[in-house]
Amino acid sequence: MLKFSIKLKSKKYSILINMITIEFLRQYRIFGYAIFDLGASLLGMYFLAPLLSKLFLNIRLKIPKLSWLYFTIPLGILIHLIVGNMTLMTRNFIDLQSNYILKIVVIALFLLGIRGIKVGKKSKHST
């Protein structure tokens, strides 16, 4: 906890301020999903995209940065399923009885990501 003192018009006021925590940042939500989590995921993928694109060039797949950004949410759901971390979005996506808009958005993002992928030609000099 931080303590600040402010002097206004000859009166001194003390203010106690909690340090910013992840929970504070995660309190702002859209449709129940934390904006901070979505933003951090997109930012992380933005920085990882060039490295991932270089790795996938080894198997002759040219994946642009924009495609990686489209893949962020679908890959996040897949990875959370694999490791068994059932987040709200993961639970909502695998729920067969509801959340159809989420399913449509995730499938649309996946299809938009696939649209940008190009398969490279086999080189003449390969052995």
Identify the DSSP state of 98.
Answer: S
Question: CA–CA separation, 100 vs 112, rounded Å?
Answer: 18
Q: Give the residue-averaged pLDDT of 10-26.
A: 65
Domain ranges of the chain: 29-119
Q: Which two tokens stand for residue 71?
A: 């893949």
Write down the pLDDT at residue 26: 84
Torsion sign across C-alpha atoms 117, 118, 120, 121: positive
Percent of the chain with pLDDT over 70: 80
Whether the predicted pLDDT of 38 surpasses 80? yes
